[in-house]
Structure 1
Amino acid sequence: MDNRKSKIDQLLQKYKAGNCTVEEMTWLRTALAEADPEADVDQAIIESLLQPVDGLNASESHLEKTLENIKRQIAGQQVKKRSLRLMRWPYWAAAGILFLSLFTLLIRNQYPDTVQQLTKHTVRQQILPEELPPGGNRATLRLADGSLVQLNDQQSGIIMGDEITYANGQPLQSGKMGRNQETNDLSKVMLELSTPVGGMYQITLPDGTKVWLNAASSLHYPARFAQHERKVTLKGEAFFEVRKDIARPFKVLSQGQEVQVLGTAFNVNAYPDNKLIKTTLVNGRIKLSNENPAIAAVYLQPGQQSSTNATGIIRVAQVDPAAFTAWKEGLFYFDETPLAEALRQIGLWYDVEVKYSSSVPQTHFYGRIKRDKPLGEVLEVLAEGGLRFELVKARDKRVLFVTAQP
């Protein structure tokens, strides 16, 4: 038995150094599965396992590292990518499972009270960012009778007409708009297109105006526009290409702001949790007003952006419109973009909640990143700004923790 214990100890040391062969790992896995924790695995092995592994931060507690691994094991979590880089053995998956299983066995015997406390609380589960896919075409349509239709995520948008069809001409299952018998006036039959976090969708309105709806947004609109005006209500963010109609101005209402146009292209960012409503004009001319009668209307020229605060004060600045409309082309476009704004966009698209440490620097980002990439590839770019990211799942939420690199 002493020879068996000695061999286990020897192979564990080789494992820690990343030098185990496939045959040795197979033997070690079998030996540990059959081991009596009190007879075959003694205090010397426990102590050897709690010694630092080359490459780990020396300032971190080895015991805390061990307990963190146990928590991940209890949660069924995968091994962190950062830890995997320390393992030079090609069969890292089996080795990782073996190592965590051994930790659980040893520490449950050595620190039973601590493990019991850990299992009483919700355990955070590590997620590899490279495994988190981007958002996509996701939306629901609320019909006039209140019924909700889940739209096809293989389609890019819908078209309003006598019936509702997808962009490729395929009719929607509930193409009759769900209107009741109370009115025949389609301008009073209201519908609402909504996207979730991690979703976007397009719509062609009854007049031919095209709207791209960004993540976590909604557009409230009539089945047919009235005779003298076209009016919609926006929550969140959308890009509009308005069909020109001099006799009927097009109006977008959002949090007390009204945008009025005849025919033009512009972007409105009016998320409820934003301090400012930002309207960016690509071409044409638009009129901005709000509920505060003391604030005069403002007219925007192409390349200008208005920022309206909660009191209705409007400020205008010259900007590059591409930085604020690139999302509809499938891009993150960062042009001296503050960290909080960059990660707000990323959080909406990948459906993650972002949390910061107090030491995060006031970083700004530049560049373009495709929105069809897994989250891990996007974070690799942002990490060059001196940041470190950890993605976990806790209580059915994905949380991205952001800290400054040491």
Structure 2
Amino acid sequence: METNKSKIDQLLQKYKEGNCSLEEIEWLQHALSATDIGDQDAIDQAIVASLLQPSAAGKMSESRQKIVLGNIKKQIQQGTEERDKPKFSIVWPYWAAAACLLLFIFTMLLWQQQTSPVQADINLVRMQDTTGVVVKPGGNSATLRLANGTLLELDKQASGIVMGESITYENGKSIAAAALDKQGMAADPSKVVLELATPLGGIYQVTLPDGTKVWLNAGSSLKYPMSFAKNERRVSLEGEAFFEVTKDSARPFKVLSKGQEIEVLGTAFNVNAYPDNTAIKTTLVNGKVKLSNDKRYSEAIYLLPGQQSTNTNNGKIQLANVDTAPFTAWKEGLFYFDETPLSDALQQIGRWYNVEVKYKGEVPQTHFYGRIKRSKPLRDVLDVLEEGGLRFELSKSDEKNILYVRPL
């Protein structure tokens, strides 16, 4: 048993460095999943001790160890199965090691959030010592532009507003400064357009006149009328939003964004249509949506639950079956990475922490896995990503935080 334990220690070190050969990872997989080893608990403890800081390993509960070890074994087993597929055989060893290690680290970070607040404080101090810049997470923040051009700063202690005969916060408190254009409302409230906008690092919610709920992600805006017309409900989106549409068979609900139109009667879906993205991604959670764009209106696409459309600038729309959770987790306060490319992960992080991301040198084509709360300081998130073979430098220029990314 001691021989196995020693060999596991050696391979885990290579594993963390991404240098395990195919044969070594296969051996590691068999060792971790073996049921006939006399002292499996001792081997499991060796794994924990190798991959955790000593202080953290000592505090880990038995139930948490089982969860972490289960994740490791599961990912290595999946990697071995993927190796048998010819199209992945060349790149599998690096991918399997990176995927398993990153999933493990995310699991540990989630555990540390609940059991080791001191660790988070240490990370925060380290950021201060190296750069003098501490970047806190985003939060509730938005402005509301009225039809007459008045711009209102909304309460950061509130999470959203409710539209009706007047505008209130979700707790019922009136927005005192919301003096609406009485003449415009008297003429036709459906033509009185308001705009809710979130800055980078902001999130907010609005309940529309029909009861539809919309969550706006960071750096987004939604234009909508004070009252919907009799024959349809129409809004315009720039950025990202999650919609829970109230059913009304007599009035379709339409979302316009970058030349794309989504039409629904009552459903829940996410739209990612940031101006700097090359494509619009629409992810359907439940219900059914009809999707078209200004380049091919005659060829509407229908989405079913669990499907995502990718609408590129050239007018091509592709459909794929997806796990919707990674695309809607931001509404629940999570980063959810599931084989997420480095550029996409950093784009999400940049918008939420309001930092500009710049790359130094050739950055590896890394993918990330796992979940982490968006309420954590930026340093905590970067600590996780650095395990993927990256280093980050944070600086400040003209009141703008800049995050430099470079390989090890």
1:339 to 342, 347, 355: 342
* Secondary structure of 1:337 counterpart: strand
> Aligned residue for 1:250?
253
The residue correspondences of 1:175-254 to structure 2 (distance < 5 A) are 175-181=178-184, 183-254=186-257
Q: Is 2:315 the partner of 1:312? A: yes
> Aligned residue for 2:392?
389
2:165 to 162, 172, 179: 162
Partners of 2:273 and 2:184 in 1: how far apart? 34
Partners of 1:204 and 1:352 in 2: how far apart? 29
Q: Is 2:154 the partner of 1:151? A: yes
Partners of 2:267 and 2:132 in 1: how far apart? 43
> Aligned residue for 1:139?
142
> Aligned residue for 1:47?
none
Give the drift of 1:192.
0.3
1:275 to 243, 264, 278: 278
Residues 163 and 208, structure 2, Cα contact 8 Å, conserved in 1: yes
> Aligned residue for 1:126?
131
User: What are the superposed Cα offsets for residues 186-218 of structure 1, whole Å, 9 maximum, x if unpaired?
Assistant: 001110000000001000000000000000000
TM, length-normalised to structure 2: 0.67
Give the drift of 1:357.
1.6
Read off the aligned partner of 2:274 and give its amino acid letter. Y
Read off the aligned partner of 2:352 and give its amino acid letter. W
Residues 144 and 180, structure 1, Cα contact 8 Å, conserved in 2: no
1:330 to 319, 328, 333: 333
> Aligned residue for 1:118?
none
Read off the aligned partner of 1:282 and give its amino acid letter. V
Partners of 1:356 and 1:326 in 2: how far apart? 26
Give the drift of 1:396.
1.9
Aligned residues: 285
Residues 140 and 151, structure 1, Cα contact 8 Å, conserved in 2: yes
Read off the aligned partner of 2:374 and give its amino acid letter. R
* Secondary structure of 1:360 counterpart: coil
Residues 179 and 189, structure 1, Cα contact 8 Å, conserved in 2: no
Residues 185 and 192, structure 2, Cα contact 8 Å, conserved in 1: no
Give the drift of 1:173.
1.4
> Aligned residue for 1:119?
none
Give the drift of 1:181.
4.9
Q: Which runs of 5+ in 1 are unaligned?
A: 1-80, 86-92, 97-124
Partners of 2:398 and 2:239 in 1: how far apart? 26
Read off the aligned partner of 1:126 and give its amino acid letter. T
Partners of 1:216 and 1:379 in 2: how far apart? 21
> Aligned residue for 1:104?
none
* Secondary structure of 1:278 counterpart: strand
Partners of 1:361 and 1:386 in 2: how far apart? 8
Partners of 2:192 and 2:278 in 1: how far apart? 32
The residue correspondences of 1:7-46 to structure 2 (distance < 5 A) are none
> Aligned residue for 1:365?
368
Partners of 2:239 and 2:398 in 1: how far apart? 26
Residues 292 and 300, structure 2, Cα contact 8 Å, conserved in 1: yes
Residues 145 and 179, structure 1, Cα contact 8 Å, conserved in 2: no
* Secondary structure of 2:314 counterpart: coil
* Secondary structure of 2:346 counterpart: helix
Partners of 1:195 and 1:180 in 2: how far apart? 28
User: What are the superposed Cα offsets for residues 354-396 of structure 1, whole Å, 9 maximum, x if unpaired?
Assistant: 0012221000000001000100001111111011011000122
Read off the aligned partner of 2:131 and give its amino acid letter. Q
TM, length-normalised to structure 1: 0.68
Residues 184 and 192, structure 2, Cα contact 8 Å, conserved in 1: no
Residues 267 and 281, structure 1, Cα contact 8 Å, conserved in 2: yes
User: What are the superposed Cα offsets for residues 57-89 of structure 1, whole Å, 9 maximum, x if unpaired?
Assistant: xxxxxxxxxxxxxxxxxxxxxxxx99x98xxxx
Residues 144 and 179, structure 1, Cα contact 8 Å, conserved in 2: no
User: What are the superposed Cα offsets for residues 275-298 of structure 1, whole Å, 9 maximum, x if unpaired?
Assistant: 000000000000001111365100
Residues 257 and 273, structure 2, Cα contact 8 Å, conserved in 1: yes
Give the drift of 1:157.
0.1
Partners of 1:138 and 1:223 in 2: how far apart? 21
Give the drift of 1:126.
2.8
Instruction: Decide whether aligned partners of structure 1 residues 362 and 293 sit closer, same or farther in structure 2, where only a CA change above 3 A counts.
Output: closer
